[in-house]
C-alpha cells in the first residue's frame, strides 16, 4: 500500500525548472523561431511593446509579471516538464506556467 502514502500528504505549491540547463537551449530555440527572432531584432533598435531582452532571453510583461517567451518548438517540453514535476492536474500545471 505504498501508493496510498502520497494521498495523505499535502501538495506542495512549488514549480521550478532548473534554469542552468534550460537557458542555453531556450536562447537557441528563441533564435531559431522567426517570430521571436523578429521581436528580438526590434528590441535591438528600440523598446517594443511589453517585451525585454535580458542576456539573450526574450521576456514579456503580462499583468505585472515578467514571463519567459517560450518558442513553439519548446512549448510541449516545458508543459510536460511542469506536469511531471507535480503530476497534480491540468489546472495546477496551467497555474504554474
**For residues 82 and 93, is the Cβ–Cβ distance under 8 A?**
yes
Q: Is 23 helix (H, G, I), strand (E, B) or coil?
A: helix
Per-residue pLDDT in tens (0 to 9) along the chain, 97 residues: 555 544 444 454 445 555 567 889 999 999 999 999 999 999 999 988 899 999 999 999 999 899 999 999 999 888 887 777 665 566 665 666 6
Q: Tell me the whole-structure pTM to 2 decimals.
A: 0.66
Domain boundaries, the chain: 22-94
- Farthest CA pair distance, the chain: 61
Amino acid at each position: 500500500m505504498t501508493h496510498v502514502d502520497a494521498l495523505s500528504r499535502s501538495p506542495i505549491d512549488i514549480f521550478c525548472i532548473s534554469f542552468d540547463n534550460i537557458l542555453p537551449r531556450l536562447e537557441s530555440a528563441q533564435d531559431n523561431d522567426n517570430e521571436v527572432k523578429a521581436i528580438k531584432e526590434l528590441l535591438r533598435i528600440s523598446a517594443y511593446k511589453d517585451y525585454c531582452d535580458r542576456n539573450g532571453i526574450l521576456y514579456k510583461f503580462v499583468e505585472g509579471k515578467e514571463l519567459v517567451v517560450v518558442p513553439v518548438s519548446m512549448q510541449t517540453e516545458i508543459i510536460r516538464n511542469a506536469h511531471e514535476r507535480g503530476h497534480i492536474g491540468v489546472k495546477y500545471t496551467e497555474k504554474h506556467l
